[in-house]
Amino acid sequence: MSYDEHYAGSPTPGSVSSMPFVENAIKGCIDAGVPSSKLLMGVPLYTRIWVVDAAGNKVSNSSATMPQIQKLLSDKGLKPTYLSKEGQNYVEYPVPEGTAKIWIEDSTSITNRLKYADKYNLAGSACWQYNQGSSDIWPVFDKYLH
């Protein structure tokens, strides 16, 4: 599985699945003897909305689907920033409890993730809850897995 780097019980905010975490998961499986031709990469179609207080302490981290995040960005007029190390878009904004932080799963992160499937010649991928994905990601899967 190449996600749950940061999960519901994580003490600190972060990506559900940054690209270094993805690559380390793949390499770990291959190094343990799993043939890449039999390895499916787990792909999250959700993210977490982390809320931290002024001191940076976690207040909450609810999960959200790709369409929910797209709507949130649109409704709030938020412009994500690309984080090259994580290979993901990121946004933060003020909320009554402090600051909301989101490492976004979208077509950008899916593209970067599936490049690893290609690089390591993996058998394919598997997604957690197909219905959490947005329509713009399916052409990305088609491009990299066919």
User: What's the pLDDT tens digit per position in 48-83?
Assistant: 999 999 999 999 999 999 999 999 999 999 999 999
Cα gap 144→5, rounded to integer Å = 23
| Within a domain: 12 | no
Whichever domain contains 37, its CATH number is: 3.10.50.10
Range of the domain at 137: 19-145
Chain segment 127-141, per-residue pLDDT in tens = 978 899 999 999 999
Contact 107, 82 (CB under 8 A): no
DSSP string, 51-81: EE-TTS-EEEEEEEEHHHHHHHHHHHT---E
Q: Is residue 139 part of a domain?
A: yes
Number of independent structural domains in the chain: 1
- Does 8 fall in a domain? no
Q: With respect to residue 82, please indicate whether it lies within any of the assigned structural domains.
A: yes
CA distances 28 to 3, 21, 25, 56, 104, Å, are 13, 10, 5, 32, 25
Whether residue 2 lies inside any domain: the answer is: no
Residue 10 lies in a domain: no
Q: Is residue 4 part of a domain?
A: no
